[in-house]
Amino acid sequence: MYICPMYSSELLKGTLKTIVLNLLKEQGKMYGYEITQRVKMLSSDKIQITEGALYPLLHALEKQGEVTTQEEFIGKRVRKYYSLTEKGTVSANEKVNELSDFMLTLRFLLNLDSTSANG
Amino acid sequence: MYICPMYSSELLKGTLKTIVLNLLKEQGKMYGYEITQRVKMLSSDKIQITEGALYPLLHALEKQGEVTTQEEFIGKRVRKYYSLTEKGTVSANEKVNELSDFMLTLRFLLNLDSTSANG
DNA sequence: TCATTATGCATAAGAAAGTTATGTATATTT
DNA sequence: AAATATACATAACTTTCTTATGCATAATGA
């Protein structure tokens, strides 16, 4: 049986924060578990954000004033929703632009550019 | 005066090994300093590989049998040339393919696949 | 009904892979 | 002569993950 391989973990390093900020920007507000599931789904299981990586990141973003939180109770269980502040929105845009630029540079460095005019 | 900004260092993590293996594959053989300079040039100074990152990586690659070395003297100064073994060539191809795939996934995740011509 | 899986948060210990700093030495440029 | 460039190497430290653990509620299935 074929197991869809995840990317080696080094690759996620450095992009996780960008992914999370961008999701929050697009979705308005999300809670931690939801973020892990959405990334898993959107990446066809090739990116699985671990809780040990995500929650500390979210806490750090809150501490730095890039996100605010809002708790909601589903029955007896709490959900902690995160949404971007203005600062976080700026940061999200910057991060996405930088990563996009970086990927262009990488494509050039690795000679991955198709023969046509784009890149 | 405008300083061309380097990418935040997290981004390089996870891609350095791929970059080095791919350069060696394309160039046949290279020495450490040459690698740093080529990446700097090809990236318009936006990626600067530090020696503290590069040399330990090259030593690890040699230990794992992915590269072999060959010393050459330029006057009294030594240059240590690295070239890929067969194993290293396989590894280079795998790494580049994985990174390429990962970037596609990222573009999708981050909604960077604009319908128009730019990104 | 009881076990398993899913949902949902959190944190601590450890590993990986960089940065920064330092060291040594030769060659070139100003 | 001093500064910069070339060329290697390694140690201490930091960042940022993974892995492991813990707690608790909800849903599913045998």
pLDDT score recorded for residue A13: 87
The answer to whether B37 CB sits below 7 Å from nucleic acid chain D is yes
Return d(Cα B62, Cα B84) in angstroms, integer: 9
Low-confidence ranges of chain B (pLDDT < 50): 1, 116-119
Complete domains list, chain B, with CATH: 9-109 (1.10.10.10)
Pairwise CB contact (< 8 Å): A99 & B106:
yes
Mind listing the pLDDT tens digit for each residue in A23-57?
999 999 999 999 999 999 999 999 999 999 999 99
From chain B, the residues in CB contact with A26 under 8 A are 111
Return d(Cα B43, Cα B33) in angstroms, integer: 16
User: Could you tell me how far CA B84 lies from the centroid of its own chain?
Assistant: 13
Low-confidence ranges of chain A (pLDDT < 50): 1-2, 115-119
How many CB atoms within 10 Å of residue A31?
18
pLDDT score recorded for residue B1: 43
pLDDT score recorded for residue A4: 66
pLDDT score recorded for residue B94: 96
pLDDT score recorded for residue B119: 39
